[in-house]
Structure 1
Amino acid sequence: MVMYQQRPVPFADEPPVVPTGDTGRRASQLRAAPGVHHLARGLWVLREQPLTGVERAVLLQKHLCGPDSGLLVSGLHAMDLLRLPVGGTDAWVQDLLSPGNRARPRGSRGSTARELETARREVDLLWTTRRAQSQQEGIRIAKSHGLPGLEGPWGCRIAHPVETLARLSTVLSPWRITACLDALLSTRFIVPGTSRPVVFTRAHLEESMDRLPPAARGVIRLRRAWRDARSPCWSAAETLTRLIVARHGLLEPVLNHRVTVAGRTFLLDLAWPGKRMALEYNGAVHAQEVSQYRDEMYRLSLLRDAGWDVSVLTWDDLRSPVRREAWLTRVRRGLGQPVAL
């Protein structure tokens, strides 16, 4: 299987972290001092630029409870380090993909977005070797279930993504959980600030889920999403398109199907090879990069000349009911399935 290869992403140099007593100044003086940023009670970071949320999580993992605490970075910041697609969702997606196409109860539409924003503001850590706790605002520490951590920037440790996803799945939309699982199955990860690739096989992820408490709400939601996980799938939009196809009872497509035309090899996002039909999702980069747009047009011409029926979709084609039904109808016709008149 062809996997998506993440490119290394630089991470800033690690800044010094010092306790209040080592500075020779009071906390009130440090708060007003330029180039000094509050990390946690009694800890300060010496750097001109403010810390990002991810940087703060990494430094808290290393310094909050000491080097022998065995803390792991978890939560949304751990997902950000792996560059997993844990973004929010729109109400129309939830309503469209809900079982029986039932809308969620009134008043519940914004809860996931609010909870997700709260989770992004907080630093979520897991303790492993000895119990750790903090009463400081914006820091949560829970017990790990013992899944192995990953190497992170500045020598930190990141919680296993399956354990993190299980904890986050109560605030993530179901299709977003599936998109993260698709990415885990399909990607060679390079965590920013590190150089060693990380790969997760289906067997490894299943074994990791088996080590989590089966009755936990987050684990139940994770396992439901796992049933829909597929590979290779290299973007959340591809996951969503595939789930929309499945929700409408259409034959499941082959993902990133390899086709050679005129001496060039292409990968089609969603394809039905027996019908020589495919769906391609184009994100913002296709519209912003002129060279990529031109190559895409040439690629489509070659595929269509070779007998492939390729439909190009954008976000509006997924979101708009009229446009969505138009491409779904084309797929039904191509598959020889009944089309409503």
Structure 2
Amino acid sequence: MSVHPQPLELAAFPGVKRVFRGSEALAAGQVNRYQLGRKFQRVFPDVYAPVGPLSLQDRTVAAWLWSGRLAIVTGQAAAALHGSRWVDPDVPVELNFGNNRSPRGIITRRESLPAGEIGRRGGLPVTTVARTAFDLSRRGPRRRAIADVDALANATRLSTGEVFAIAGRHPHLRGLRHVADRLDSVDGGAQSPRETYLRLDLIGAGFPPPHTQIAVARPEGRWYYLDMGWPDLMLAVEYDGEQHRTDRARYYGDVVRLEYLASRGWIVIRVLADHRRADIIGRVHRAWESRLGCAAG
């Protein structure tokens, strides 16, 4: 039976956690300077971890320790702690902390942050779901911000009403003017950033906002779920990731699924990563016109 080497290495240093402050470990006699330099890697000033790849969780803990345990985790790192998927593991860790000389890999901001907008996740102080959504919605490019909040909404019970309430309490924070537009475009049914971008492209082309995760009854009381579309027209658009082509079992299931949906009268437009936006819109437009023509006839 194989054993992962990381716990074994840490077991040789009683009391040392996976991510720790070097000065504290030295003072406690848990490591000596030679071991600190050879067995561990410096993540941030005075913060160390075992040599090897680090997760976003590792780097978030490291950033918090670097702050002297005083900072509040915010932004995408906070979203990941709340369960958001599709967060880039190499994203800088954002902290609400009064230090304008943060090391590479950490972004610090000192903003108004009442106690009611702070919680704890994974043992760390973190902005609440609503405050995290508020911060994500007012920073960065529009499409990316909407995708980030979509992911947070997909992972949590995000209430946009709570986010708007937070916006009302912080009338002077930077980026506030973006919040309403971006929140109005959020849909927690998105299962990936690509699905968010596809939905936004459809809306931008003039189509009504599509429903997401459309349930279609199938035999034996089970359901198929369509990424997005318009149930009244029985027209759906789906984004197919690489796994749809590389996973044999999934590919087989897709064939059976699409045949069943077609038998029920659904048109399903399948979109791949290398499809051009104009071509996608054209395909959806032709299917839309076909449906309207059938309805008129």
- Going from structure 1 to structure 2, the CA distance change for 1:169 and 1:276 (only over 3 Å counts) comes to closer
The corresponding residue for 2:177 is 220
Q: Partners of 1:246 and 1:86 in 2: how far apart?
A: 24
Return the match for 2:99 from 133, 148, 152: 133
Q: Do structure 1's residue 151 and structure 2's residue 120 form an aligned pair?
A: yes
Of residues 193, 199, 202, the one that matches 1:245 is 202
Q: Tell me the CA shift for residue 78 of structure 1.
A: 2.5
Change beyond 3 A, Cα 1:141–1:254:
closer
User: Alignment partner for residue 151 of structure 2, among 172, 183, 191?
Assistant: 183
Distance 1:15 1:279, change over 3 A: same
User: Pairwise CA RMSD of aligned residues?
Assistant: 3.3
Identity over aligned residues, as a percent? Answer: 20
Displacement of 1:34 in angstroms is: 1.1
Counterpart CA distance in 2 for 1:145 and 1:181 is 19
Give deviations 1:167-217, integer Å, cap 9, x for gaps: 4556532122222233333334xxxxxxxxxx3233333333333x23434
1:35 is the counterpart of 2:39: yes
Contact 1:84 1:180 in 2 (8 A): no
8 Å contact kept, 1:245–1:328 = no
- Superposed CA offset, 1:230-250 (max 9, x none): 343332222222222211222
Which of the residues 84, 93, 102 maps onto 1:123? 93
What is the alpha-carbon distance in structure 2 between the residues aligned to residue 21 and residue 79 of structure 1? 29
Unaligned runs of 5+ in 1: 1-11, 88-116, 189-198
Q: CA deviation at 1:283?
A: 1.3
Q: Is the 8 A contact 2:154 2:190 kept in 1?
A: yes
Partner-residue secondary structure (3-state), 1:316: coil
Aligned partner of residue 217 in structure 2, secondary structure: strand
CA distance in 1, matches of 2:160, 2:229: 22
Assess if the C-alpha contact under 8 Å between 2:73 and 2:127 holds in 1. Answer: yes
Please give the alpha-carbon distance, in whole angstroms, between the structure 1 residues aligned to 2:58 and 2:121.
11
Secondary structure, aligned partner of 2:254: helix
Q: Do the aligned residues in 2 keep the contact of 1:250 with 1:332 (CA within 8 Å)?
A: no
Whether contact under 8 Å (1:74, 1:124) holds in the other structure is yes
Q: 1:23 aligns with which of 26, 43, 64?
A: 26
Amino acid at match of 1:126: N
State whether residues 53 and 77 of structure 1, in contact with CA within 8 Å, keep that contact through their aligned partners in structure 2.
yes
* 1:327, distance to aligned residue in structure 2 (A): 3.1
Q: Distance in 2 between matches of 1:183 and 1:22?
A: 37
1:254 aligns with 2:224: no
* Partners of 1:208 and 1:152 in 2: CA distance: 20
- Tell me if structure 1 keeps the 8 A contact 2:133–2:152: no
Structure 2 CA distance for aligned equivalents of residues 228 and 255 of structure 1: 13
From 240, 249, 262, give the equivalent of 1:282: 240
Change (3 A) 1:210 1:49: same
* Cα 1:292–1:309 shift into 2, 3 Å: same
Q: Counterpart of 2:95 in structure 1: which amino acid?
A: L
8 A contact 1:86–1:176 mirrored in 2: no
What is aligned with 2:256? 298
Change in 2 beyond 3 A, CA 1:150/1:314: farther
Q: CA deviation at 1:39?
A: 4.3
The superposition leaves residues 118-138 of structure 1 with CA deviations (integer Å, 9 ceiling, x where unpaired) of xx3x432114xxxx4363433
How many Å apart are 1:79 and its aligned residue? 3.3
Whole-Å Cα distance in 2 between the matches of residues 16 and 273 of structure 1?
A: 50
Equivalenced residues, count: 270
Checking the alignment, whether the CA contact within 8 Å between 2:134 and 2:163 is kept in structure 1 is no
From 164, 173, 177, the equivalent of 2:141 is 173
Distance (whole Å) between structure 2 residues aligned to residue 288 and residue 277 of structure 1: 26
Confirm whether residue 58 of structure 1 aligns to residue 61 of structure 2: yes
Q: 1:7 is matched with which residue? A: none
Q: 1:150 to 1:74 in 2, by over 3 A?
A: same
Counterpart Cα distance in 2 of 1:266 and 1:22: 53
**TM-score normalised by the chain length of structure 2:** 0.75
* Other structure's SS at 1:233 match: coil
- Match of 2:187, SS state, is coil
Which residue type is aligned with residue 271 of structure 2? L
Output the CA distance in 2 between the equivalents of 1:284 and 1:150: 37
Task: Tell me by how many angstroms 1:270 deviates.
Answer: 1.5
2:110 paired residue number: 142
Higher RCO (CA < 8 A, seq sep 6+) = 1
Calculate the TM-score normalised by the size of structure 1: 0.67
Q: How far apart are 1:277 and its partner, in Å?
A: 1.8
